[in-house]
Amino acid sequence: MLHLQDFDADFLMFLECGFIAISQLDETSAKDLFHVAKMIQPHNTLLMIADGYMHFTKMQLDAAAKSFEEVLKKEPGNEMAKTFLGLTYSLTPKTMEKGEKILKETGAHSHDPAIKKLSTDSVAFVDVHLKQKIPHQKGQ
């Protein structure tokens, strides 16, 4: 008879498949895969990041930010959550500066090349594509 513990080694596979499903715009499969992952490791913060990422891809920025903030309450040094939170904040004019600051700090201090690249690329995206679209507050 199989038990959930027997699938512990498969946790990351279910999680990764959920992220792939999100990238293919298959929310139903993503939710199912994340549900299975949650059954295996219910307290893993990667599940909260996955939830935030799903909200992010649907541009539900408040819900995405809330998920990433919750991860950071539990794990203040979680660079993936910081990077996604910075990117999420950067997409809203009201929190753009705060997001950009988070991205710059995370990119500068991270030892993970993927986090460093995502943070750096996100700052460049904000500078090139978002800052130019928002009229400057001074002198309007």
Distance CA 24, CA 88 (A): 20
Do residues 80 and 108 both lie within one domain?
A: yes
Give the pLDDT of residue 131.
78
In sequence order, what are the residues at sequence separation of 6 or more whose Cβ sits closer than 8 angstroms to the Cβ of residue 5? Answer: none
User: Tokens standing for 28?
Assistant: 């139903």
pLDDT mean across residues, the chain = 91
Do the domain assignments include residue 116? yes
Confidence class of residue 2 from pLDDT cuts 50, 70 and 90? low
Do residues 57 and 125 both lie within one domain?
A: yes
H-helix or E-strand spanning residue 109:
helix 96-109
Task: Taking residues 46-58, report their average pLDDT.
Answer: 96
Domain holding 34, by residue range, is 10-44
CA proximity to 112, closest of 122, 100, 102, 120:
120
Amino acid 67 reads S
Do residues 40 and 52 both lie within one domain?
A: no
Task: Taking residues 49-73, report their average pLDDT.
Answer: 97
Amino acid 121 reads D
Give the pLDDT of residue 140.
42
The pTM score is 0.86
